[in-house]
Structure 1
Amino acid sequence: MSEPLINYLNVEIAQQDACLLRNVNMQVNAGDFLYIIGKVGTGKTSLLKTIYGELSIASGEAEVLGSNIKSIKRKNIPQLRRKLGIIFQDFQLLTDRTVNGNLEFVLRATGWKDKQEIKNRIDEVLEQVGMTNKEDRFPNELSGGEQQRIVIARAILNSPSIILADEPTGNLDAETGRKIVELLHNISRNGASVIMTTHNTQLVKEFPGLVFKCKNNELQDATHEFYNETRSLNKEEHEINESALETTYSQAEFVSEEEADNE
């Protein structure tokens, strides 16, 4: 079995001497789709920040793509980030550039030089996210869902092993958000690991994955608990529907018998 892409063991995350999360134990393998759920302020975003080196860990052991996150030098963080795709809730697209300009900027910044290769790669990712023929649009000419698709295209330009999506549906309507999560699931099926923070448990139910919950300053594995609870609810709803159906049949039979008596 191959080594996990992310391996956190007894990690504590703190900021300004305040503990945000403790006992963080998490492994992420190639192709995993992992949700991090929890209320606002429980540490979901802070956990993602430690993965891409924005926030240091206070204690424990943490490896991301072979790099020791606890001891990584600041000069080596850009190299790590080139192996990651990061999707922010507020898009962070360059407003003075077209879609093509935004994507070309990233490729050139990460060492791409050949114009035809750059064009081909941009065409590939735009097709993958369903945004062909949008390359000449500026961000303000796109809907929120379209902008998020461009952000995803930007994140997968360099074929990252890991995609970090911080509340990618937070600013979108329900149906558009659903399509974004479906797109991310399709990307994970091609081998990339996706870690997505969200408070939308309906999406977690519809598109199953591994589930971790930030609660009481701890990261708890909630996969079995979450889906067992979901199945129990579905079973209960089914039993209620069966009971209602039986009542309907009984009422119908009673009405038929009453009509027969009247005749």
Structure 2
Amino acid sequence: MEDGLLIQYDHVEICRKELVVLKDVNFKLYSGEFVYFIGRVGTGKSSLLKTMYAEIPVVEGEASVLGFNMKSLRKKDIPQLRRKIGIVFQDFQLLTDRSVKDNLNFVLQATGWKNKAEITERVEQVLVQVGMQNKAYKMPHELSGGEQQRIVIARALLNSPQIILADEPTGNLDPQTGQQIVSLLHSICETGTAVIMTTHNHRLVEEFPGRLLKCENKCLSEVSL
């Protein structure tokens, strides 16, 4: 694989329930790139992201993500792949019965961290990175939507991923809060982490430029605003 290349898709076809969602997808992602997948609802943006963390299988073409062959990926290797990818969901998916700190502790323990002092230190680091260091003991319901999304981004950063996949991360937020979240993702990208974000908000794309690919008519193509 060439230097800095994290994802390579060659002639990939993506299906959901036996229906073709996207066909002949050719795509490369490099370290430190910020990429937007744009397109109307139902054009395959989320499905494409889901193939990258093995939620949906790749059945046609060749696909490599962080050195993993996505066509021959064994079930037992999926956790290893996902540890290298941070995923930011539109609907947060925080555990509602525990504090911010305990949400983050849980992820680290589930991914093999054992040392309590190291866990505490890492949680503090990511909370500082997303500007939420004073919210560690809050419960999710005590946070605003924007604050919850910052915690979700902190959770995605815990294992120092090479790629962050953000699926409509501003979809449930007001415009100003959405801007703050995209600004935060761009600042993370500047540290060398590649970011792929799906959106249909053209204003955000104009304000925070990145590489632009559009899902339309079952195809993925590079476009400019």
Stretches of structure 1 that go unaligned for 5 or more consecutive residues are 227-263
| TM-score for both structures, normalised by structure 2 | 0.98
1:100-158 deviation digits (Å, cap 9, x = unpaired) = 00000001111111111111111111010000110000000000000000000000001
Tell me the distance in 2 between the aligned counterparts of 1:48 and 1:74. Answer: 18
Match of 1:214 in 2: 215
1:152 is the counterpart of 2:153: yes
Match of 1:30 in 2: 31
Normalized per residue, the structure richer in helix is: 1
Check whether the contact 2:9–2:26 (CA below 8 A) recurs between aligned residues: yes
1:135-188 deviation digits (Å, cap 9, x = unpaired) = 000000000000000000000001000000000000000000000000000000
Tell me the distance in 2 between the aligned counterparts of 1:118 and 1:3. Answer: 29
1:162 is the counterpart of 2:187: no
Tell me the distance in 2 between the aligned counterparts of 1:149 and 1:203. Answer: 17
Match of 2:59 in 1: 58
1:192 is the counterpart of 2:193: yes
Stretches of structure 2 that go unaligned for 5 or more consecutive residues are none
Match of 1:178 in 2: 179
Tell me the distance in 2 between the aligned counterparts of 1:124 and 1:138. Answer: 19
Deviates more, 1:179-188 or 1:69-78: 69-78
1:191: how far off?
Answer: 0.6
Tell me the distance in 2 between the aligned counterparts of 1:149 and 1:72. Answer: 31
1:16: how far off?
Answer: 2.1
Match of 1:41 in 2: 42
1:87 is the counterpart of 2:93: no
What is the total number of aligned residue pairs between the two structures? 224
**Amino acid of the structure 1 residue aligned with 2:210:** G
Match of 2:13 in 1: 12
1:3: how far off?
Answer: 4.5
1:65-111 deviation digits (Å, cap 9, x = unpaired) = 00000111111111100111000000000000000000000011111
Structure with more contact order per residue of length (Cα contacts < 8 Å, sep ≥ 6): 2
Match of 2:110 in 1: 109
| TM-score for both structures, normalised by structure 1 | 0.84
**Amino acid of the structure 1 residue aligned with 2:192:** G
Tell me the distance in 2 between the aligned counterparts of 1:35 and 1:2. Answer: 22
1:15: how far off?
Answer: 1.6
**Amino acid of the structure 2 residue aligned with 1:94:** L
Identity of paired residues, percent?
61
Tell me the distance in 1 between the aligned counterparts of 2:26 and 2:180. Answer: 30
Normalized per residue, the structure richer in strand is: 2
